[in-house]
């Protein structure tokens, strides 16, 4: 029987585009979280616990060190930007200084600037938070730490974006929530670009796989035609590989088998549609490739631990 693609009677902002990176950023809906600033002089060290978010810090003035568990200290220079994933970390003037807990300095609402004895070093920080399993999809694909050197185009883009976010937060002008959401998308894309440029061929996960000619094409096919009844054999044929070679290479590059990735992605899209659309569950199931509402419900529950329903 001829497969008819869903016309997306769920007419909406979600675009079934053959650009997996844009697709992921749109569907995961990362939101900008609180902007913070640190001004410090002399000897100082602040420790922070692990959080399930991406933290961006631009070093606007001076220098500092970043210390992560089981990693050597990393020296940062003025103009550098760094990205911190789901890990505890310490930022300090020099290694070896006993850190104090930095969280209380920013605990109270409106306390977004911490000052420690001067302003020889100035850091501006922001972050992107995701919800539930969507956060894991992104956080697992990026390193726990990435330095974006000041010579990198991404460092300039991230620094300026953080400054724009800071201005939006301070000014509180009309439409600021929309602007901050879009700026969060810019931060995320620039971080991914910097990661790919830094790692090259050794870049792993679905992000790295986008640069693989055949596996990247398979990802574009899955994202571009999410409702198509893909099989490993049909994907392999479309990218010019044998079934076994494709399955092995996809699993190695992406970190999970092809159909496991496809199901996972379909469920993330379905959850986004459920949160946005007025269409019923059956229509959403069809839009992400399920002819059986029951099969869709089982897959959704395996992924999220509950049946599909509106938030």
The pLDDT of residue 117 is: 93
Residue 250 pLDDT: 96
Q: Which residue in 292, 305, 299 sits closest to 266, CA to CA? A: 299
Q: What is the pLDDT of residue 214?
A: 94
What's the rounded Cα separation, in Å, for the pair 158 and 196?
Answer: 15
Per-residue model confidence as pLDDT tens digits over 68-122: 999 999 999 998 888 899 999 999 999 999 999 999 998 877 678 899 999 999 9
**H helices present in the chain, as ranges:** 20-28, 132-139, 153-171, 176-199, 205-209, 213-224, 232-238, 243-254, 258-276, 281-287, 293-304
Ramachandran class of 258: left when φ > 0, alpha when ψ lies in -120 to 50, beta otherwise: alpha
The answer to whether residue 267 scores a pLDDT higher than 90 is yes
Q: Cβ neighbours of residue 16 under 8 Å, at least 6 residues apart?
A: 8, 223, 224, 225, 226
Find the distance separating the first CA and the last CA of the chain, reported in whole Å: 35
Q: What is the pLDDT of residues 245-258, one digit of tens each?
A: 999 999 999 989 99
Which domains are present in the chain? 33-200 (2.60.120.280), 206-304 (1.10.10.60)
DSSP state of 190: H
Rounded CA gap, 199 and 182, in Å? Answer: 26
**Does the pTM exceed 0.85?**
no
Dump pLDDT digits (tens) for 167-222: 776 666 777 777 777 877 887 788 778 777 777 667 778 888 888 899 999 999 99
Structure confidence at residue 5 (pLDDT):
38
Distance CA 225, CA 220 (A): 8
């Amino acid at each position: 029987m001829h497969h008819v693609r869903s016309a997306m009677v769920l007419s909406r902002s979600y675009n079934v585009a053959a650009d997996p990176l844009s697709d992921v950023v749109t569907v995961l809906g990362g939101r900008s979280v609180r902007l913070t600033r640190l001004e410090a002089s002399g000897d100082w060290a602040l420790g922070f616990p692990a959080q399930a978010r991406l933290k961006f810090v631009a070093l606007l003035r001076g220098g500092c060190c970043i210390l992560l568990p089981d990693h050597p200290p990393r020296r940062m220079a003025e103009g550098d930007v760094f990205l911190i994933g789901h890990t505890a970390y310490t930022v300090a003037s020099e290694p070896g200084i006993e850190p104090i807990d930095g969280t209380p300095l920013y605990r109270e609402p409106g306390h977004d600037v911490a000052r420690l004895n001067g302003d020889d070093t100035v850091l501006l920080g922001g972050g992107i938070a995701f919800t539930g399993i969507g956060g894991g999809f992104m956080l697992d694909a990026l390193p726990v730490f990435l330095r974006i050197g000041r010579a990198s185009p991404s460092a300039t883009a991230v620094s300026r974006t953080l400054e724009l976010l800071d201005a939006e937060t301070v000014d509180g002008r009309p439409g600021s929530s929309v602007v901050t959401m879009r700026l969060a998308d810019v931060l995320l894309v620039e971080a991914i670009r910097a990661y790919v440029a830094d790692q090259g061929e050794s870049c792993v996960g679905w992000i790295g796989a986008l640069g693989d000619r055949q596996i990247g094409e398979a990802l574009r096919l899955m994202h571009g035609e999410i409702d198509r009844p893909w099989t490993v054999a049909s994907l392999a044929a479309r990218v010019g590989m044998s079934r076994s070679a494709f399955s092995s290479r996809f699993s190695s590059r992406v970190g999970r088998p092809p159909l496991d990735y496809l199901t996972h992605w379909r469920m993330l899209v379905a959850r986004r549609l459920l949160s946005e659309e007025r269409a019923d569950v059956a229509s959403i199931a069809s839009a992400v490739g399920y002819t059986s509402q029951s099969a869709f419900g089982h897959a959704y529950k395996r992924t999220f631990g509950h049946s599909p329903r509106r938030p």
